[in-house]
Amino acid sequence: MKTRPAILLAALALLVTGAIAAELKITLPAETTVLRPGKGAELAQANCLICHSPDYIQTQPPMPRKFWEAEVKKMREKYGAPTPEETVPTLVEYLAATYGIPDAKKP
């Protein structure tokens, strides 16, 4: 009895699919970074860290308030962060005061 190439290919495909579909377990390292203390840190903890680590915030270069306003807006509007509108000013204040640079003073 001759085996058809299509049957062999189908059997091979099933074997490969089974190997690919095997369970893969990934263990991430423990989080060691924390947000800097400050007024509003709890708000940032509750709203920012549900999607990313504190490292994401801390590795940003120091930026002015307008940058942090735009970041919070982007996270809410583009990425769907569930940050309530009424908490945005406090969150921006925390990020700007803790991770930002002072806005230039106008003469």
Spans of all domains in the chain = 41-99
Query: From CA 65, how far away is CA 96, in angstroms rounded?
Result: 5
Residues 6 or more apart in contact with residue 61 via CB below 8 angstroms: none
| Residue 66: its H or E element | helix 65-77
**Least confident stretch, 21-25, 36-40, 66-70:** 21-25
pTM more than 0.75: no
Tokens representing 61 are 């270069």
Q: Which residues pair with 100 in a beta bridge?
A: 63
The upper half-sphere exposure of residue 78, i.e. CA atoms within 13 Å in the direction of its Cβ, equals 6
pLDDT at 106: 47
pLDDT at 72: 96
Architecture of domain 41-99: Orthogonal Bundle (1.10)
Indicate whether 52 pLDDT > 50.
yes
* pLDDT-based confidence at residue 19 (cuts at 50, 70, 90): low
